[in-house]
Structures are given as C-alpha cells and as structure tokens.
C-alpha cells in the first residue's frame, strides 16, 4: 500500500527556509557589479504636466551613473495588467487594457506617478541624487471621484477614453450594457417588475479604497547582458505573462527575454501583473552588462501600486411575500484611479458574483468607471466580490426583516445549487454543499441561542450577530485562459523533477502541487522536487490568480506524473512480458504482476537503464529499454467549480465610542477536498483579517490635492493580533467536486467575502442601524447613532 500525503497536515516544503530567513525574496538579491535605480515620482502633484526636468546638479552627485528622462527610455506604452494575454485579441479592450502607461510620464495622473530615473552605484547615492533633480510641473485640476472627472470640462486622462469614462459594459457582449440573463423581449424592468413584488429594498453604498499591504515591498532586478539578452528577477504572481509583457515593451523576442520569480512575500493581487519591472528593465538597458536593482519603499508601494476598486454601488431587490426572489437591479460606478489597469474587470466580477449567488428570476447589473487622480486600481483578493458582499448580503438581511423571514433559512432555500448557472452565464454548478456549511457553522456559532440571548440588551455595549454566504471561482475559465504546462522528468534514480511555473504567494501552492505529484506517482514527498519560476525552464502557465493554482495547475502536474507512471509500466510490461493492466507498483517502486510477487521488476532499474543504457558484452543484447522518461501536460481547464461558504460573526458595539469589538467568527467553506488542510485553513484565517479590515477600518484617505494621507502602517489601520476575533474555520468536504482535481475546489480568495457581509449585518443587528459606507468606522457609527436619534439605555 502506498502512503498518501494528500489531505495530510505535513509541514510545507518551504517552511524551514522561511523560518530561518534564508528564503530569497527579490529584495535579497545581490549581484556582482549591481547598480541601484531610483524612480523619481511626483510626490507633490497628483495631476500635472511635466514642463521640464533638470539633471544638471544630480548628475554631478557621487556615484551617479546615469540620469534617465522620458526620452531616454522606450517610447512604447504599456499596461501593468496581464489580462489582455488571457482573452482573444478581439476582446482585449473589453476585458483587457489599453497601453497608456509609460516608464516615465509627462502627464502625471496620480501622486507617485513616475517622472524620471537615476542609476547610481549605491541605493543611497541614487536617493541623494534624486533629491537634486529639479522638475517643473504645471498643475492640473485634481479629480478624486467619478462625479468630478466625468464633468464635460474635465481634463482628459487618455484620448481613447472620452469623458474620462474608463470602462462600461460593452453593448456588444452585454445587451443594455448590463450583465444579466433574461432576453430583451421578455425582460421587464422598473415599475413593471416592481409592481409584481410585495417587498422591494434598495440602497446606495460606497466601497472603500483598500490596499493589499503585502509585507514584501515591490522590487525588481534586471540585467541586459552583453549577448543582448534581458533578464528580470522579481516576485510576481504571473511569471509567464510578465515575461511576455516585458518582451513586448522592449521589442524583444521571447528567446531574448528571461524572467525569473523569486520567493513571493505576499501578493493578494498586488502582483497580478507588472509593478516596477518595466523601470528596472529600462534602466538595465541603459547600462548594458550591469544589473540594476529597483526597490520601492513602503510609501512608494502605497501610492504607486494598484489597490482595490472603490466606488458607488447601488442595488435594488424585489421579492414576493413568500420570499421568492424576483429581481435584482444594481449599478457599480467605480473610481478607476489614474490608469486603465484591469479595465472593468473587477466591476464585471462584482456583477458576476451577484449572478452566482441567488436564484433571482431576473437580474440586471450595470457597471462603469471613471478615471480619478488616485493610485490605479487593480486586482485584490476577491476581485469585485468583497464589494458585492457588503452590498448584497446587507440588502438580503434588510429584505428578510421586512418579509418577516429567517435570513439563514431564506439563504438556504434560495442560494444557487447544482445545475444552476454560476457566476458566469452558461456554466453550471457541478457540486454544492453550502447548506451543510450553513448548518455546521450555525451550530458551532450557536446562532439561534445567541439570537435569543441578545434579543433584549441594555447599556452602552451591544452585542450583535450576522451571517453571510458567498460564491467564488476556481480559476477563471471560460472567461479567461486557463492553461498550465507541466513537465515531469524522471531522474535516473527514479525520483522526479517537476518543471512547472507556480508562484507560491504564501498559499502553500508549492506544497500542494508536490503532494498531488506524490500521490499520483504513489511515491514519498522526498522523491519529488519542483523547479519553478524561471522562464528558461518552465513552460507556459497563466500564473497565481483567480484561486487557480491547485485547480488548474494541479491537473497539469497529475497528468504529467501519470504519463511518467504509464511509461514506466509499459516498459515493465515489455520486460516482464506481461500486460500493463495486470501490473501494479508498490510504494517501494517494485512493479509486479498482480498476485505474483515473483514476476516483478524494480522501477529504479528501468529508470537507470533508460539513461545508462549499455549492451551486454556476452550476449550483445541491449540491457533494459533506452531513453530517459519524461511526462508532459499542457492542461487547459474546462470548468471553474465555484466554491461556496458561510460565515457567522459576532460583534460588540460600544455606542459611546463607536468602537466595534470582534468577538467571534465562524467560517465554513465548501472546499470539496483539502489537499493541504493547514494551507486551506490558513487562507481562510488570513483572508478573514483582510475582509474584516475592509469592513471595519481600512481605507486610503486622500486630501483634496490628491495626496494620500495614510501611506503607512500606522495611519492605515490593519487589524492586529489583539483585534482579531476568536476564529473557527471549518472545512466541509462532503461534496467533492466531480471536476476539480481529487475533488478540490478553491480557497484562495473565498475568505474575504463572508466576514465583510456578516460583520456589516452583525453591526446592524447590534444597534439597529444600517451602514452603507465602508469601512464602518467609529466615526460613522457615532454619526449614524446621532442621525438615527436612537438612545441606548
């Protein structure tokens, strides 16, 4: 019998390295002759034209090697986002992006936009010289909201987007520029539909600008070597797409563009594309033969890399009096930030996850966004879904209250299930055990006991409980390309080397992939090694986004390992003069005819003879079968097996201070099969910290000039170890997915949504006031209490 490692709580493959600190992140790279690049950013102006750049004094500073103005680097535009590579070319602009970013800019669109660069012998010399560069700006009006930048006389951000309308649902794909499912002829909206409903609820919400706050700052090292080949090292989520974008930007064939990922110090979407890689590469090309390192400071990371999509989100829902959901009608107007990064992607997904949750008879959701002079928006764990949780899960509770229905029971009855369409039209759920999640979590949380207990409370501290459910995705098929290549080389000692691009953002992806390989081969973990992150070695892979590593990457690993095993068995069959189907291999790698231990061969012999293949001097016959065995898979996903989950939260609101204390959180997740349970739990526990922060305290604050006022860990409050509630994560494995590898569905992004909706609901439960603006800060709570006129004796 083989010993399975899948589902076991084994230590992660990289944890010793990480606990010692020997794991190498991009910032830890040291190279012979390495120079340092400093990006000079517009710190005083969020919207301006650069009139002149004067390097006169800077270039005389000690250690300065080169000063680079916009004219000294490629004139090609780019977009940090990789989405265009994941959709057919015709859809590039709809789902993808336009190339309106430049390495150094003359039209400054946000605080932190890059203006020019300095290369010097040391980082400090580069910084000191940077301080001597004289830049003259012509200030332009600053627009912080969609309402401001959409005005007819507003300065245009980019010629291809008139009216600063960055994105809206393309009518070519979305009739009436809306995501929904009824056809135009039978569809009824507005008064017609409302009049059929017994209860209609609606509200306008505001969603905050949240930062990923990965602990490792962005850093890229690049070398343009003397053979004319460019190499870039950084810690990205998306190694292969970044290689392709850099090659395009610098007009190099892929054979002359190498990209290497280091260990990734957290990402959460912040590295779903390029960050400072274009700058490091441009600088390296200016000093051929010497590596250049560009490391962003924490403040730069804050103001110059992408954030979650903030904006105005309104939603209306209609119901029959028995609770039948009739319609949902929503509109999300996003504040796009400075560039067309990630296009309308997160807004589309906000709509998509509305589509995937409840059995509405009809749905319509519109979405648009307008440029603003704030940090660009991009990907952040959940990708539109956290915004939807805040809005949708609150309105469902409001409706249930009006209907006089139990909101838990309503959700159990009306959430989508097997056979219903998922977040994406035309793709149906293949598995679902959300109701078990709800039941198990409710019991663990003691929902109904607490409901009774907190019905009558007195005094200034009020307890409240709330719950929310969520749906997400495993990979993004068929909206986006889902392709992973895995090559598994059988070493001559019968161990394997997996060559596959997998960015492990801390998720445990490297461990899970090797566990899946070990179980597929039936061999121990020690016999498996993963070579990853180098475009010279690894085949194509989309990257680590959309909760896809196990779901889309795992099957590639498994297929390639199966191929290795099959080839071994075929050779064994030939050597043993038996049929493949009659053979079995044990954990000691002995292949034998079933039921006959005498007729057997050691797989190690086969592997060895494949490489060291000789002739028997006595007989003149070839010993064994020649050729090193290699397995290969070029795997394209064919589903997105959405996971669902239920979260219950308890809070205590101090009505005198507005403080919210998080008391308890229970999150049950329909994982299907947990490949590495501690990693799955870790995703759900850590995601909760981010979701709870989004609903309670995290928000980038700008003054009216567009300066970010809280670009640091002190003023941008994240929840710390004493702020976090008692948390219980429950992995529900009662419904293995029939499509997912080994039954697995995803968990990477799922954890944020439930905490957001459930805490918003718990606050409303505690004090009887709804909050429509996120985050629900003490200030907002006190204002809400004051405006309501409520007293809490």
Partner 1 sequence: MSKHPITLTINGQEYNLYVADHHTLLQVMRDQLDLTEVKYGCGRGECGACSVLVDDEKEASGRKAIDSCLALAVTMDGKKITTSRGLGENGQLNTVQQAFVEESGIQCGFCTPGMVVKATSLLEKNPNATEEEIRFGLEGNICRCTGYVKIVDSIKKAQKVINKK
| Residues binding partner 1 (CB under 8 A) | 9, 11-12, 14-25, 27-28, 30, 123, 212-217, 263-268, 297-298, 505-508, 678-679, 681-682, 685-690, 712-714, 718, 720-722, 724, 727, 729
Comparison of 31 and 418: residue with beta carbon closer to partner 1? 31
CB of 511 to partner 1, least distance (A): 9
Pure H helices in 630-752? 677-696
Comparison of 9 and 425: residue with beta carbon closer to partner 1? 9
- Identify whether the C-beta of residue 652 lies closer than 8 Å to the C-beta of residue 674: no
CB-based burial of residue 34 (10 Å sphere; 0-12 exposed, 13-18 middle, 19+ buried)? middle
CB of 485 to partner 1, least distance (A): 25
CB of 51 to partner 1, least distance (A): 32
DSSP-derived secondary structure for 369-422: EEE-SSPPB---TTTTHHHHHHHHHHHHHHHHHHHT--HHHHHHHHB--TTSB-
Q: Distance (Å, rounded) from C-alpha 10 to C-alpha 542?
A: 27
Comparison of 33 and 141: residue with beta carbon closer to partner 1? 33
State whether the Cα torsion 313-414-396-668 is positive or negative: negative
Cβ contacts of 65 within 8 Å, gap of 6 or more: 35, 119, 120, 121, 287
CB of 363 to partner 1, least distance (A): 33
CB of 652 to partner 1, least distance (A): 16
CB of 552 to partner 1, least distance (A): 20
Residue 344's DSSP bridge partners are none
- Identify whether the C-beta of residue 292 lies closer than 8 Å to the C-beta of residue 38: no
Q: Integer distance in angstroms from the first to the last C-alpha of the chain? A: 67
CB of 524 to partner 1, least distance (A): 18
Q: Distance (Å, rounded) from C-alpha 405 to C-alpha 409?
A: 8
Comparison of 466 and 682: residue with beta carbon closer to partner 1? 682
Q: Distance (Å, rounded) from C-alpha 648 to C-alpha 664?
A: 8
Helix (H, G, I), strand (E, B) or coil at 258: strand
CB of 713 to partner 1, least distance (A): 4
CB-based burial of residue 519 (10 Å sphere; 0-12 exposed, 13-18 middle, 19+ buried)? buried
Closest CA relative to residue 34, chosen from 296, 290, 294: 290
Comparison of 602 and 723: residue with beta carbon closer to partner 1? 723
State whether the Cα torsion 550-381-353-692 is positive or negative: positive
Q: What is the largest CA-CA distance in the chain?
A: 102
Comparison of 351 and 662: residue with beta carbon closer to partner 1? 662
CB of 435 to partner 1, least distance (A): 26
CB of 304 to partner 1, least distance (A): 16
Comparison of 8 and 608: residue with beta carbon closer to partner 1? 8
Backbone angles phi, psi at 364, to 5 degrees: -145, 130
Comparison of 188 and 298: residue with beta carbon closer to partner 1? 298
Comparison of 254 and 718: residue with beta carbon closer to partner 1? 718
- Identify whether the C-beta of residue 130 lies closer than 8 Å to the C-beta of residue 59: no
CB of 450 to partner 1, least distance (A): 22
CB of 677 to partner 1, least distance (A): 9
CB of 218 to partner 1, least distance (A): 12
The token pair that represents 289 in the structure block: 């033969």
Backbone angles phi, psi at 7, to 5 degrees: 85, -5
Closest CA relative to residue 768, chosen from 653, 659, 648: 653
State whether the Cα torsion 233-234-235-239 is positive or negative: negative
Comparison of 251 and 712: residue with beta carbon closer to partner 1? 712
- Identify whether the C-beta of residue 119 lies closer than 8 Å to the C-beta of residue 39: no
């Amino acid at each position: 019998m083989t010993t399975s490692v899948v589902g076991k709580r084994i230590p992660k493959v990289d944890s010793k390295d990480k606990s010692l600190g020997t794991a190498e992140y991009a910032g830890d790279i040291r190279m012979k002759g390495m120079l340092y690049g400093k990006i000079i950013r517009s710190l005083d102006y969020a919207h301006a034209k650069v009139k002149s750049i004067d390097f006169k004094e800077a270039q005389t500073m000690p250690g300065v090697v080169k000063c680079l103005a916009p004219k000294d680097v490629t004139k090609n535009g780019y977009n940090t986002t990789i989405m265009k590579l994941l959709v057919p070319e015709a859809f590039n602009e709809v789902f993808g992006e336009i190339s309106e970013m430049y390495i150094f800019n003359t039209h400054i669109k946000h605080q932190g936009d890059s203006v020019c660069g300095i290369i010097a012998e040391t980082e400090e010399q580069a910084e000191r010289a940077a301080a001597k560069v004289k830049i003259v700006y012509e200030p332009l009006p600053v627009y912080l909201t969609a309402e401001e930048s959409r005005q007819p006389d507003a300065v245009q951000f980019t010629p291809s987007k008139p009216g600063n309308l960055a994105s809206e649902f393309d009518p070519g794909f979305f009739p009436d520029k809306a995501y929904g499912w009824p056809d135009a002829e039978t569809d009824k909206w507005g008064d017609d539909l409302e009049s059929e409903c017994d209860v209609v609820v609606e509200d306008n919400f505001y969603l905050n600008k949240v930062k990923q706050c990965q602990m490792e700052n962005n850093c890229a090292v690049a070398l343009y070597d003397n053979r004319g080949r460019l190499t870039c090292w950084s810690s990205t989520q998306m190694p292969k797409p970044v290689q392709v974008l850099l090659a395009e930007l610098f007009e190099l064939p892929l054979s002359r563009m190498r990209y290497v990922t280091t260990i990734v110090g957290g990402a959460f979407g912040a590295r779903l594309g390029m960050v400072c890689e274009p700058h490091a590469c441009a600088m390296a090309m200016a000093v051929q033969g010497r590596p250049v390192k560009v490391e962003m400071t924490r403040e730069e990371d804050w103001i110059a890399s992408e954030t979650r999509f903030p904006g105005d989100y309104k939603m209306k829902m209609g119901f029959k009096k028995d609770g039948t959901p009739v319609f949902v009608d929503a509109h999300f107007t996003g504040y796009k930030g400075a560039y067309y990064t990630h296009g309308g992607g997160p807004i589309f997904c906000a709509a998509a996850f509305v589509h995937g949750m409840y059995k509405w008879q009809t749905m319509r959701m519109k979405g648009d966004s307008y440029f603003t002079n704030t940090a660009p928006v991009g990907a952040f764990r959940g990708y539109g879904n956290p915004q939807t949780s805040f809005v949708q899960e609150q309105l469902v509770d409001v409706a249930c209250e009006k209907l006089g229905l139990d909101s838990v029971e309503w959700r159990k009855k009306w959430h989508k299930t097997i056979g219903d369409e998922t977040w994406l039209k035309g793709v149906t759920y293949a598995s679902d055990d959300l109701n078990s999640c709800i039941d198990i979590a409710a019991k663990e949380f003691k929902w109904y006991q607490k409901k009774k207990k907190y019905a009558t409370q007195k005094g200034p501290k009020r307890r409240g409980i709330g719950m929310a459910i969520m749906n997400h995705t495993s990979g993004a098929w068929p909206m986006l390309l889902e392709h992973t290549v895995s090559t598994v080389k059988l070493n001559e000692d019968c161990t394997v080397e997996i060559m596959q691009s997998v960015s492990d953002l801390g998720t445990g992806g490297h461990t899970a992939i090797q566990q899946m390989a070990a179980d597929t081969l039936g061999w121990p973990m020690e016999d498996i090694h993963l070579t990853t992150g180098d475009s010279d070695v690894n085949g194509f892979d989309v990257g680590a986004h959309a909760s896809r590593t196990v779901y889309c990457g795992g099957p590639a690993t498994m297929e390639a390992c199966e191929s290795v095993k099959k080839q071994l068995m075929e050779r064994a069959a030939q050597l043993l003069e038996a049929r493949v189907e009659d053979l079995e291999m044990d954990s000691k790698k002995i292949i034998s005819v079933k039921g006959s231990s005498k007729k057997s061969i050691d797989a190690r012999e086969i592997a060895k003879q494949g490489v060291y293949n000789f002739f028997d001097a006595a007989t003149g016959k070839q010993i064994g079968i020649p050729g090193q065995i290699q397995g290969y898979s070029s795997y394209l996903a064919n589903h997105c097996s959405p996971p669902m989950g239920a979260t219950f939260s308890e809070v205590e609101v101090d009505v005198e201070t507005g403080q919210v204390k998080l008391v308890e959180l229970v999150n049950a997740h329909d994982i299907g099969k947990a490949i590495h349970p501690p990693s799955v739990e870790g995703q759900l526990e850590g995601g909760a910290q981010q979701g709870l922060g989004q609903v309670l305290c995290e928000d980038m604050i700008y003054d009216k000039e567009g300066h970010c006022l809280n670009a640091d860990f002190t003023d941008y409050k994240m929840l710390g170890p004493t702020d976090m509630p008692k948390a219980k994560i429950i992995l529900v494995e009662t419904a293995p997915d029939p499509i997912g590898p080994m039954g697995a569905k995803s968990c990477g992004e799922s954890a944020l949504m439930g905490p957001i909706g459930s805490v918003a609901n718990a606050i409303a439960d505690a004090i009887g006031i709804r909050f429509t603006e996120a985050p629900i800060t003490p200030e907002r709570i006190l204002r809400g209490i004051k405006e309501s006129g409520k007293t809490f004796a």
